[in-house]
Amino acid sequence: MSVSAVAADRSVCAPLPVLGRDVLVPLVTGGEVDYAALDYAASAPALQRVWDDVAAYAPYYGSVHRGAGYLSQLSTDLFENSRRTIAEFLGCRAEDQVVFTRSTTDSLNLLAAVLPQGTRVFVFETEHHASLLPWEQRPDVEVTYLNAPRTPQQAVDTLEKALATREPYGPALVCVTGASNVTGELWPVQELAAAAHAHGARIVLDAAQLVPHHPVDLGELDVDWVAFSGHKLYAPFGAGVLAGRADWLRDADPYLAGGGASRKVSRRTDGGVDVEWHTTAARHEAGSPNVIGAYAIASACQALTEAGFDGLVAREQELIARLRAGLADVPEVTVLSLFGEDAARVGVLSFVVEGWNSSHFAAALSAEYGIGVRDGLFCAHPLVRTLLGSEPQDPGECGAPDAAPGEKSLNAIRVSFGAGTPDEHVDRFLRAVKELVTNGARWNYRTEAGRCVPA
């Protein structure tokens, strides 16, 4: 069924069927309701298509690259074809490499490990911790943290100024998100890439929150690398991707040393060993690869491509407009934003509710309405603190607020959705927000292990 045909009856289903769409969860007030998964920004549910593809392959699972048997040969072909499918999905250039990793975090740590000595890294404080923290692990790399911009143009101007004053002139890398995991706002990636290249720097795009919602083309965006996670892209099994320029990857020592990364190992006369490492993506893929994870990502890429991003984006924008209009009708709700109300965004939105501890509010949404959202600092502590107007030393933990119901705490609520979200889930969420703000919770809650739970 086409996206347009499904869109005609959105009250029933979403454009792309996902696992868990029929799961019933109990309510503390009695009865059951189908679970409304509105935490896609953390982990999107797996597409039914992905699950079916993996299940069809599972009986043929075998070792990859070095097996002589039929199943090993088939698995190797599947693994390498998955690499090609993902390269096509990302618009990779002929000389680019696609390296399989465990996640966005792993991808960016890999890139940090291969930076040339003395590289200057420029990163906005608004980044997710996956793209904010890896660079500090290199003592020979200097990191410059840029203040949170309040407009897309200010982001470009801030980067331009920082790059123009760097000394000495040497290798430099800019790290930027494509879409914020807190506000969902789109960043001016093309403009930032142009600024980076104009000053002799390279740029890596954290596309974890962008790639499930929008097409990402390395050539069109003119970025040097892109990193993302399969579990954000409707693909389970703990795999990720780092795709882009090959030279720094080829010139650095392997991320992990071991079989698969090495082409030839021989003993030296002095008793040691000489190693000849691969120069392809295999150089940084030591050990037995996660072939199912790679295939799951490739399957998700194919599903999104076949569905058509134009229709998916248009529908998501309608849901975003409905969500924002509904929250605007509740004066106690404040939506968090860097770039203002008119900023373009994907299906990710964070907010606070006057008079409510965010953990208490999220717990009530789950226990009384069967709605799953996220609360906390979303592994983007500096950004959320900026948006909440707090001081850097204020307490607050990612996903584990300490304050009891009714007490002030440093955390927010995040609602996120995508191609598997039925309209009814967004409508139920808005109804629940209005009822909780107007009438309060219908159940008592307590703090347990740092979280608010039904008493």
By annotation, the residues acting in catalysis are 379
Q: Are 410 and 381 in contact (CB under 8 A)?
A: no
Dihedral sign computed on CA atoms, order 202, 206, 210, 211: positive
Give the separation between CA 308 and CA 27, rounded to whole angstroms.
Answer: 37
Contacts of 107 (CB under 8 A, 6+ apart): 99, 101, 227, 228, 240, 241, 242
Q: Position of tokens 């040969």? A: 73
Query: Is the four-CA dihedral 138, 143, 149, 151 of positive or negative sign?
Result: negative
The CB density around residue 169, as the number of other CB atoms within 10 Å, is: 9
Chain Cα centroid distance, residue 334: 24
H helices of 90-132, in order, are 104-114, 129-132
Phi/psi-derived region of residue 443, left when phi > 0, alpha when psi is between -120 and 50, beta in every other case: beta
Number of alpha carbons in the 13 Å side-chain half-sphere of residue 148: 20
Sign of the four-CA dihedral 392, 398, 399, 403: negative
C-alpha span between 115 and 265 (Å, rounded): 25
Q: Which amino acid is at 136?
A: E
Q: What tokens were used for 303?
A: 């599903």
* Helical (H) or strand (E) element with 445: strand 445-448
